[in-house]
Amino acid sequence: MAIGSQSVRARPLPPQERRNAIIEATLPLLLAHGSSITTRQIAEAAGVAEGTIFRVFPDKESLIDAAVEAAFDSAELETQLAGIDRTLGLDARLVLAVEYMQQRIARIFQLMSQVQSSTGNTPAKKPPTSEDMASLIALIEPDRSHLRLDPSAVAHVLRGLTFAGTHPMFAIDGPMSPTEIVSLALDGVRIHTTTEHLC
């Protein structure tokens, strides 16, 4: 047990787990304070000695880069989407999906804003990949026969609308609600009458 000024002794962990634990502790600090955080703050949040950080990362900048990269990792979102109840209707499934996507977008935007404001540099963004879309497409697939577009195309439309309806640069009057985004993706903006459908 550490007393007074003695060093904190970290619980032994495999190197990758220790690295992940430090990154996980760093992300909330970056969201709150940007790159002005100190390695002492990070060490306290991670429950390790400062020296442990430098045994894992060569410097604070490398740790920040790793934390930003981790924030763009879509694994958590994929898990959330995969956990949505498939017995729900399509609209209900997609509203939940959009809620999760909006949370991720908001967190990433806040992180980028904090890091950029404290360093003047825009963090590198990980481009979306087709693998990131797998769970979203799977949510749409059961209703394929009711859609004019392939589930993959619908997923891309929904993700694009979610980004545009959430990002402060585009959603000037505030973010759209998940229900609004899903309705727009599935029904469009035109008011359809019975007569139009029969034409």
Q: Give residue 198's pLDDT band: very low, low, confident or very high (50, 70, 90).
A: very low
Distance CA 102, CA 71 (A): 14
- Phi/psi for 125 (5° steps) reads -100, 135
The last residue of one of the domains, among 70, 88, 115, is 70
pTM reported for the whole predicted model: 0.75
**Of the candidates 110, 123, 8, 120, which has an alpha carbon nearest to the alpha carbon of residue 64?**
123
Torsion of Cα atoms, 113 then 135 then 163 then 184, to 10°: -160
Residue 168 lies in a domain: yes
Q: What is the extent of the structural domain holding 181?
A: 73-198
Q: Are residues 66 and 89 in the same domain?
A: no
What confidence tens digit (pLDDT) does each residue in 131-175 have?
A: 568 999 999 999 999 999 999 999 999 999 999 998 877 777 889
Q: Are residues 140 and 59 in the same domain?
A: no
Q: Are residues 122 and 86 in the same domain?
A: yes
